[in-house]
Amino acid sequence: LPWETMPDEELAKSYLKSFYNFREDNGSAVRRALSPLSQKLSEMQRFFGLEITGTLDPATLEVMRKPRCGVPDGKISAFS
Amino acid sequence: IFGDNLKWQKKNLTYRWVDPHRRLRPAVLLGEDPIENYSPDMSQAEVDQSIEMALQVWAGVTPLRFSRVFSGTADIMVSFGRQSHGDLYPFDGPQGTLAHAFAPAPGIGGDAHFDEDELFTFRSEEGQCPHLDAGVPETLGGAPEPVCAATGYVLFLVAAHEFGHSLGLSHSSDPGALMFPIYTHSNPDSFVLPQDDVRGIQSLYGPNPEGPLGPGPEPPTTPDACDSKLVLDAVTTLRGEIYFFKGRFLWRRHTQSSIPQQSLIANFWPGAPDEIDAAVERRSSDRVFLFKDRQVWAFRGYDLVAGYPKSISSFGLPGAVKKVDAALLDEESGKMLFFVDRMLYSYDEATETLEPGFPQRVDRTFPDILGRVTAAFEYRGFAYIYSGPVMFEYSLGSKRLFRLLDNSYFLTCT
């Protein structure tokens, strides 16, 4: 789907999979204080200087919808 | 830079245009020359010039030198491709991802790929988006359009960013840097590599031994909210947030959050000027006005209001006024105050005329302000008036001075 027509959560998951190595099911049974989605959102928010909420707030969505370079911010060297 | 300190071990690098699909076919690798692949959006000459200019951005500040080859495998293979294009990192169609590149390494390392589903251009006039310049009707609202999507992304800017990766730079979290991952529109003719990028690339390769080719502008830096000497260009409220302007940048801070978020003005309002003189919100009509020289821009949300920019005379200011230093609107009384040099003008929103008795000296209304006013805004019945890095807090009703503060009171240093 084009980015602008994706539901917000789907957009966020797709974005975080592309640029923050987000995996929906990591197979871990350990109870986490923060969901993997929330952790990755926090990572992204920290990089962009957004308020770190771990939630999909309007400012975070706004950044996700902007045109950008396709190289992941976190695992960039994995390309090579 | 990349975590593994990836960089080229040589100073002379080659580049070449190539179709990535063909490159991966064994027959091609065994000797059949690939077909050169150009963007359908631009002429071959424009693509060539964009790529050469993008490489020169990096050559200008390092010992690196680039030469183009027309056959065989170059260090930096450049291509346009769409969707799955042979590297296991498919593109996503229009918008979203514009391009990607690989860190220095043999093989695919250093290569740069551009998403053919995007509309690339050589340049856009005046570094702005022509489709936004005409303005939109005031009744239109909704989500912002992607920056310059209708007129295309400047290939030079995208390529210069990607070649930063090709040479060993990772993404920067400095929103003013070329290596910031979000596309920012600017005029290629006046582009100067920002300081953050210069420091990054020179940490890998050192400076250009030939020095700068001539006197040129200094690399632009990004303003720091923690700088105690910071003098803001303008401050305004906007839909429950406070916006602080400096150069090409703004910080926005929600009044219930202590963390300001820094962006480029161009990322908010592609048609807005940089280095504005003043800004003011009129909440009753949901507009924010940005002043620069003798012009004023009005925005509603992300959209330029039809008919703007206009002359500042539309606020009753006489022709002798060349620029406004600061502005604030007292919604309670309906008076818009303009600070011009040491003088104060009061514009009555109801009658749409300047109030009688104005202009008058600023210190007649605000007796403690003896220096030039640099920014001002209204918040919860108080006027916050900046003179350099100092901020005066006045009650708008009584004009009584309450406190002397500094930038960090609202624009927190994080």
Q: Which residue of B has its CA nearest to A71?
A: B100
Q: What would the two tokens of residue B31 be?
A: 């000797």
Q: Which residues from B are below 8 Å from A54, CB to CB?
A: none
Judge: B171–A4 Cβ closer than 8 Å, yes or no. Answer: no
- Whole-number Cα distances in Å, B330 to B265, B342, B349, B361, B379: 25, 20, 10, 18, 9
Residues of B in contact with A73 (CB under 8 A): 171, 181
Helix (H) or strand (E) holding B151: none
Q: Between chains, do A76 and B2 touch, taking CB under 8 Å as contact?
A: yes
**Which amino acid appears at position B230 of this protein?**
L
A53 and B CB contact within 8 Å: no
Residue B125 has pLDDT above 80, yes or no: no
Strand partners, B77: B16
A43 CB neighbours in chain B (<8 A) are none
Cα gap B320→B313, rounded to integer Å: 10
Contacts of B22 (CB under 8 A, 6+ apart): B28, B34, B35
Nearest CA in chain B to A51: B259
pLDDT, chain B, mean: 86
Dist. CA B97–CA B94, nearest whole Å: 8
Q: What percent of chain B has pLDDT over 90?
A: 65
Report whether pLDDT(B204) > 90: yes
Answer yes or no: do B153 and A49 touch at CB < 8 A.
Answer: no
Task: Specify the pLDDT at position B299.
Answer: 96
| C-alpha distances in Å from residue B40, one per residue of B37, B75, B95, B309, B352 | 9, 24, 17, 35, 52
pLDDT value, residue A75? 53
- More confident: B270 or B240: B240
Q: A58 touching B, CB under 8 A? A: no
Residue contact B115–A77, C-beta within 8 A: no
CB contact under 8 A, B181 and A71: yes
Instruction: State whether residue B139 is helix, strand or coil.
Output: coil
- The H or E element spanning position B69 is none
Q: Give CA–CA dist B152/A39, Å, rounded.
A: 34
> Which tokens go with A65?
């919808």
B162 assigned to active site: yes
Q: Does A8 touch chain B (CB under 8 A)?
A: no
Contact A69 B97 (CB under 8 A): yes
Tokens of B394: 């006045």
Q: What is the spatial distance between Cα B249 and Cα B303, in angstroms, rounded to a whole number?
A: 18
The H-or-E segment that residue B130 falls in is: helix B130-133
Q: Which chain B residues are Cβ-neighbours of A63 within 8 angstroms?
A: 182
Q: What is the pLDDT of residue B3?
A: 77
Residue of chain A nearest B262, judged by CA positions = A49
Residue B101 and residue B164: Cα distance in Å, rounded? 9
Distance between CA atoms of residues B103 and B171, nearest Å:
12
pLDDT per residue over A31-79, tens digit each?
556 788 899 999 999 999 888 889 998 889 989 999 999 988 865 555 5
Instruction: Name the pLDDT band for B151 (thresholds 50, 70, 90).
Output: confident
Q: What is the largest CA-CA distance in chain B?
A: 85
Outline where B175-224 has alpha helix (H).
195-205
Which of B46, B116, B162, B378 is an active site residue? B162
- Give pLDDT tens digits for B353-396: 999 999 999 999 998 898 999 999 999 999 999 999 999 999 99
Across the range B212-237, mean pLDDT stands at 88
Most confident among A53-57, B69-73, B346-350 (mean pLDDT): B346-350
A36 to chain B, minimum CA–CA distance in Å? 22
H/E run at residue B289: strand B287-292
State whether B102 and A76 contact (CB < 8 Å).
Answer: no
- Determine how many CB atoms are found less than 10 A away from the CB of residue B85: 21
A55 in contact with B, Cβ within 8 Å: no
pLDDT class of B124 with cuts at 50, 70, 90: low
Q: Do A63 and B262 make contact, defined as CB atoms within 8 angstroms? A: no
User: How do beta strands A68-69 and B112-115 pair?
Assistant: unpaired
Is residue B130 scored above 60 in pLDDT?
Answer: no
Determine the 3-state secondary structure of B127 from DSSP: helix
Q: Any idea how long chain B is?
A: 414
d(CA B278, CA B323): 9
Confidence of residue B75 (pLDDT cuts 50, 70, 90): very high
The CA distance from B235 to B233, in Å, is: 7
| B98/A67 touch (CB, cutoff 8 Å), yes or no | yes
Region at B237 (left for phi over 0; alpha for psi -120 to 50; beta for the rest): beta
**Interchain contact A76–B (C-beta under 8 A):** yes
Residue B64, pLDDT score: 97
| Confidence band, pLDDT 50/70/90 cuts, at residue B397 | confident
* DSSP one-letter string for chain A: --GGGS-HHHHHHHHHHHHH---S-----S--SS-HHHHHHHHHHHHTT----SS--HHHHHHHTS-EESS-SSSGGGG-
Measured between CA atoms, the residue of chain A closest to residue B91 is A70
Would you state the structure tokens that stand for residue B130, as one six-digit string? 């022509």
Tell me which chain B residues have a C-beta less than 8 angstroms from the C-beta of A79: 89, 100, 102-103
Distance CA B106, CA B118 (A): 28
Q: Which of B5, B111, B167, B182 to mutate to test the interface with A (most CBs of A within 10 A)?
A: B182
CB contact under 8 A, B173 and A68: no
Q: Using a CB-CB distance cutoff of 8 angstroms, which residues of chain B are in contact with residue A5?
A: none
Q: Is residue B214 pLDDT above 70, yes or no? A: no
* pLDDT band at residue B145 using 50, 70 and 90 as cut-offs: very low
**A47 touches B at CB < 8 Å:** yes
Residue B192, pLDDT score: 93
Q: What is the pLDDT of residues B160-203, one digit of tens each?
A: 999 999 999 999 999 999 999 999 888 898 899 999 999 999 99
Q: Give alpha helix (H) positions in B1-43.
A: 20-23, 26-29
Residues of B in contact with A3 (CB under 8 A): 92, 95-96
DSSP A64-79: HTS-EESS-SSSGGGG
Rounded Cα–Cα distance for residues B160 and B178 (Å) = 8
Q: Could you tell me if A34 lies within 8 Å of chain B, comparing CB atoms?
A: no
Q: Which residues contact B129 (CB under 8 A, 6 or more apart)?
A: B147, B148, B150, B151, B185, B270, B271
